C-alpha cells in the first residue's frame, strides 16, 4: 500500500489573501505530490514499506531520501490540516492553558514568529507537545521535523509552518516576515487542540 496525496478540505482559493490560490495549487499538486512519489520509491522493497508515516519519521531518517521525502509528506499532510479559511484567531482548551504556562499567546506569537523568520534557508517552525504535556516552540531545517531523532528538539508536532520559499514566494517574494505574520489569520486552533489531545 503506497502513500497517496491527501485531499484538501477546502478550495485552493479559500485561504486568500493570506495564501493565494496559485501557491496552494502548486504547493499541493506539485511539491507535495513529488514528496509522496519520491517517498514511495525510496521505501519500495525495504523494511519501511507498510510502516506508518509517523513510524517512518522515527526510524527511517538515517536514509537521506526517506528523511527528505518522508519528512516532506508528513510535514505537508499536517500543514494542510492546520489551515482553515478565516482561522480561529486564538488557541483553545488545553493548548490555550499550556501556552499560558510558557508566557501567554502574545509571547508565543513572538517566539513562533522568530523561529519561523530566523530559520536560515528552508525549513519549518513548530509548536510541539512534550511527553509531560507541556508545549514548546522549535524549528527544523529542510523537511526535518521534531519526530525525527536528528531534530535538536524532540516532541510531537501540533502546529507547523512551512517557511520554504515555495510556500510564499509568488505572493510575498522575499518578505517572509509578512507571510509569517499573515499565517496567524488562517490557523485552525481547533485542529491544534485535537492533535494535542490525541
Ligand atoms: Fe512546502
Task: Output the tens digit of pLDDT for each of the chain's 198 residues.
Answer: 699 999 999 999 999 999 999 999 999 999 999 999 999 999 999 999 999 999 999 998 899 999 999 999 999 999 999 999 988 889 999 999 999 999 999 999 999 999 999 999 999 999 999 999 999 999 999 999 999 999 999 999 999 999 999 999 999 999 999 999 999 999 999 999 999 999
User: pLDDT value at position 1?
Assistant: 66
> Rounded distance, CA 11 to CA 172, Å?
20
CA–CA gap between residue 138 and residue 78 (Å, rounded): 16
CA of 162 to the centre of ligand 1 (A): 6
* All three cell numbers of 110: 513572538
* 76 CA → ligand 1 middle, Å: 6
Cα distances from 52 to residues 17, 59, 108, in angstroms, run: 35, 10, 31
Nearest residue to 127 (alpha-carbon basis) of 141, 148, 113, 142: 113
Answer yes or no: is 76 a known binding residue.
yes
Distance 114 CA to ligand 1 centre (A): 19
Rounded to whole angstroms, the Cα distance separating 15 from 20 reads: 7
CATH 3.90.1150.10 matches 21-82: no
The secondary element (H helix, E strand) that includes residue 139 is: strand 135-141
If phi > 0 it is left, if psi is from -120 to 50 it is alpha, else beta; for residue 189 that is alpha
Domain boundaries, the chain: 21-82, 93-197
Domain 93-197 has CATH 2.60.40.10: no
Amino acid at each position: 500500500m503506497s502513500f497517496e496525496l491527501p485531499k484538501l478540505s477546502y478550495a485552493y482559493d479559500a485561504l486568500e489573501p493570506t495564501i493565494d490560490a496559485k501557491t496552494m495549487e502548486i504547493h499541493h499538486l506539485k511539491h507535495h505530490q513529488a514528496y509522496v512519489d519520491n517517498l514511495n520509491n525510496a521505501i519500495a522493497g525495504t523494511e519501511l514499506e507498510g510502516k506508518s508515516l509517523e513510524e517512518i519519521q522515527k526510524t527511517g531518517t538515517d536514509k537521506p531520501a526517506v528523511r527528505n521525502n518522508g519528512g516532506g509528506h508528513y510535514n505537508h499532510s499536517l500543514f494542510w490540516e492546520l489551515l482553515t479559511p478565516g482561522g480561529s484567531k486564538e488557541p483553545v482548551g488545553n493548548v490555550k492553558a499550556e501556552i499560558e504556562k510558557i508566557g501567554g499567546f502574545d509571547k508565543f506569537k513572538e517566539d513562533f514568529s522568530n523561529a519561523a523568520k530566523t530559520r536560515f534557508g528552508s525549513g519549518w517552525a513548530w509548536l510541539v507537545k512534550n511527553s509531560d504535556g507541556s508545549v514548546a516552540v522549535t524549528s527544523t531545517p529542510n523537511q526535518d521535523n521534531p519526530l525525527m531523532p536528528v531534530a535538536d528538539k524532540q516532541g510531537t508536532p501540533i502546529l507547523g509552518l512551512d517557511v520554504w520559499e515555495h510556500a510564499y514566494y509568488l505572493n510575498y517574494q522575499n518578505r517572509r516576515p509578512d507571510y509569517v505574520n499573515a499565517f496567524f489569520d488562517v490557523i485552525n486552533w481547533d485542529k491544534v487542540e485535537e492533535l494535542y489531545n490525541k
